[in-house]
Amino acid sequence: MKKVITYGTYDLLHVGHINLLRRARELGDYLIVVLSTDEFNAIKNKKAYHSYDDRKIILEAIKYVDEVLPEYTWEQKIQDVVDNDVDVFVMGNDWEGKFDFLKDYCEVIYLPRTEGISTTKIKVDLHK
> Residue 71 contacts by C-beta under 8 Å, 6 or more apart in sequence?
7, 34, 35, 36, 37, 40
Q: What are phi and psi of 29, to 5 degrees?
A: -105, -15
Query: Which one is catalytic: 2, 44, 47, 121?
Result: 44
3-state secondary structure of 4: strand
The pairing of strands 30-36 and 67-71 is parallel
Backbone angles phi, psi at 90, to 5 degrees: -125, 135
Among 2, 46, 98, 121, which one carries the catalytic annotation? 46
Query: Active-site residue 46, yes or no?
Result: yes
Q: How many residues does the chain have?
A: 128
Cite the active site residues.
44, 46
